[in-house]
Amino acid sequence: MAQDLLSLSRDELAQVLASWGEPEFRSAQIFDWVWKRWVTDFAAMTNLPLALRTRLDQTFTPAPLTPLAHQVDEEATEKVLLGLADGEAIEAVLMREGDRRTVCLSTQVGCPVGCAFCATGQSKFKRNLTAGEIAGQVLHFARRLAPSERVTHVVVMGMGEPLFNYAATIKAVRILNDPQGMGLGARRFTISTVGVVPGILRLAQEGLQVNLAISLHAPEDRLREKLVPTGQKWTIGEILEAGDAYAQATGRRVSYEYVLLGGVNDGLAQARALAELLRGRLAHVNLIPFNPAPGLPFAPPSPGQVDAFRRELVNHGVDATVRRSRGTRILAGCGQLRGLSTAQQN
Ligand code: SAH
Ligand code: SF4
């Protein structure tokens, strides 16, 4: 089977080319075609000798993702369903806000964690994505943007748990980060994790200045275990320690995400308990009002409660903002991605 070109770093590509007896500079040329000019066809790489183009074509597939369906909402948030070579499908989202163009990426088909409030978690976990399938989601949207637009930010908050697919996720970040390619600065990435402690500690040692978001969702372990099944593996105490290690190693403030579920974790006493945990840490809370999706047994909090919860945190010394999910009308909001075809969704 043809190899996935998008999964190769520039160094790996250079090694393949060297083994073919090609000069060093060819790897930069090809990387440029793929990641800066976004071509999907080797025939278009006109500065390469014909024989090399043919050999590349026989060896590699330059486009591992096939767009199957697009939805756009009234704020120009776009969701795409992307088919993979093995017949599976994932979703990715583009959000527009001012000059920002943020791509929300998936890292797995389904998710093995199975959080009670997340649509992705309800579907069966199928497999990890490759680095090319992850990074390719950014290319997909880069191609769709108007000439005046650029992808400026990437959030790894789509389907799946990125730190359970550590190697491919980090490789995708490095490929997108490569100055000879898209050159997206590490600080423009946010990786969101459900709190995989070994993965957070490893990420702290990567030497990458990416933003880390940790999904906490509860101020105490008993409730967290009900909402987040991996909570049985790592306690809140262990997760916060790992978050501190990340902040210390990178100097970057950690975001703690907290999905507000009406009547479950949105009480003011819970806000105070959360503040107690986070006060004094290099941390910040992102409150995400629950986005309903078919089959999820929770209700959103009232807008008044969201604001009261946020104020309680701030009054107790913890920075907090409310994240308004974009694209909820087209089921493109946080926790709404499922990778089902439009026909299956209806
Ligand atoms: N697996 C990772 C990243 C993907 S989920 C993680 O859990 O962090 C990205 C964010 O969406 C997480 O903070 C998650 O808790 C949140 N989320 C999941 N389901 C949601 C829902 N129904 N409404 C609002 N946010 C949700
Ligand atoms: Fe997986 Fe994150 Fe959804 Fe939990 S919230 S099921 S970890 S994608």
CB 121 near ligand 2, within 6 Å: yes
Q: What is the mean pLDDT of residues 96-116?
A: 96
The mean pLDDT of 124-145, rounded to a whole number, is 96
Nearest CA to ligand 2 atom 8: 160
Closest CA to 313 of 258, 342, 257, 274: 274
Catalytic residue among 22, 78, 91, 312: 91
Q: Which ranges constitute the DSSP H helices of the chain? A: 10-19, 25-35, 50-59, 119-122, 131-144, 166-177, 197-204, 221-227, 236-250, 268-278, 303-315, 342-345
Residue-level pLDDT at 230: 84
Q: In the predicted model, is pLDDT for residue 221 greater than 90?
A: yes
304 in the same domain as 226: yes
The pair of structure tokens assigned to 69 is 């369906």
pLDDT band at residue 122 under the 50/70/90 scheme: confident
Name the percent of the chain lying above pLDDT 70: 98
**Rounded distance from Cα 120 to ligand 2 centre (Å):** 6
Around ligand 1, the residues with Cβ closer than 6 Å are: 117-118, 157, 161, 192-194, 215, 257, 259, 288, 290-291, 293, 334-335
Q: What is the CATH number of the domain that holds 8?
A: 1.10.150.530
Residue nearest to atom 15 of ligand 1 (CA): 215
The answer to whether residue 111 is catalytic is no
Distance from Cα 215 to the centre of ligand 2, integer Å = 9
Per-residue pLDDT tens digits for 277-294: 999 999 999 999 999 988
Which of 61, 81, 108 is a domain's end point?
A: 61
Of the three residues 26, 41, 61, the one that is the final residue of a domain is 61
The answer on pLDDT for 89 being more than 60 is: yes
Buried b or exposed e, range 303-329, using 16+ CB within 10 angstroms: eebbebbbebbeebebebeeeebbbbe
State the pLDDT confidence band at 343, using cuts at 50, 70 and 90. very low
SS3 content of the chain, % helix, strand, coil (to 5): 40, 20, 40
Confidence of residue 175 (pLDDT cuts 50, 70, 90): very high
Kindly state the average pLDDT of the residues 263-278.
98
Token reading at 297: 């047994």
What pLDDT sits at residue 341?
52
pLDDT of residue 346: 39
Q: For residues 336 and 97, give the distance between their C-alpha atoms in angstroms, rounded to a whole number.
A: 20
Structural domain that includes position 284: 66-345
CA of 297 to the centre of ligand 1 (A): 15
Substitution candidate for ligand 2 out of 91, 107, 120, 227 with most atoms within 8 A of CB: 120
pLDDT at 1: 64
Question: For residue 112, which atom of ligand 2 is closest to its CA?
Answer: 1
Residues 174 and 52 both lie in one domain: no
- Mean pLDDT in the chain? 94
What is the pLDDT at residue 276? 98
Going from the Cα of 158 to the center of ligand 2, the distance in angstroms, rounded, reads 9
CB atoms near residue 1 (< 10 Å)? 5
Is the per-residue pLDDT at 329 higher than 90? Answer: no
How many whole angstroms separate alpha carbon 153 and alpha carbon 186?
A: 9
Packing angle, helices 166-177 and 131-144, rounded to 10: 40
> From ligand 1's centre to the CA of 219, what distance in Å?
17
Pick from 28, 45, 61: which residue ends a domain? 61
**pLDDT mean over 136-159:** 96
Per the CB < 8 A criterion, the answer to whether 256 and 240 are in contact is no
Is residue 88 classed exposed, middle or buried when 0-12, 13-18 and 19+ CB atoms within 10 A define those classes? middle
Q: pTM of the full predicted structure?
A: 0.95
Q: Which atom of ligand 1 is nearest to the CA of 292?
A: 22
pLDDT (0 to 100) of residue 325: 81
Predicted local confidence at residue 274, as pLDDT: 98
Quick one: 284 and 310 in the same domain? yes
Domain co-membership, 75 together with 40: no
Q: Please tell me the residue having the least CA distance from ligand 1 atom 17.
A: 335
Whether the CB-CB separation of 128 and 177 falls below 8 Å is answered with no
Co-location of 255 and 302 in the same domain: yes
Q: Are residues 175 and 56 in the same domain?
A: no
Instruction: Mark whether 57 and 148 lie in a shared domain.
Output: no
Query: Per residue in 40-67, pLDDT tens?
Result: 899 999 999 999 999 999 999 878 899 9
Residue whose Cα lies nearest atom 4 of ligand 2: it is 115
Task: Please indicate, yes or no, whether residues 56 and 78 belong to a single structural domain of this protein.
Answer: no
For residue 104, pLDDT beyond 90: yes
Residue 195 CB less than 6 A away from ligand 2: no
pLDDT at residue 344 is higher than 70: no
192 and 257 Cβ atoms separated by less than 8 Å:
yes
Per-residue pLDDT at 338: 85
Asked if 118 is an active-site residue, the reply is no
pLDDT value at position 326? 83
Whose C-alpha lies nearest to ligand 1, atom 1? 161
Q: Is the CB of 113 under 6 A from ligand 2?
A: yes
Per the structure block, which two tokens stand in for 340? 């089902």
Same-domain check for residues 222 and 176: yes
Q: Is 120 in the pocket of ligand 2 (CB under 6 A)?
A: yes
Residues in the chain: 346
The predicted structure's pLDDT at residue 310: 98
Is the pLDDT confidence value at 342 over 70? no
- pLDDT at position 8, please? 96
Count: domains in the chain:
2
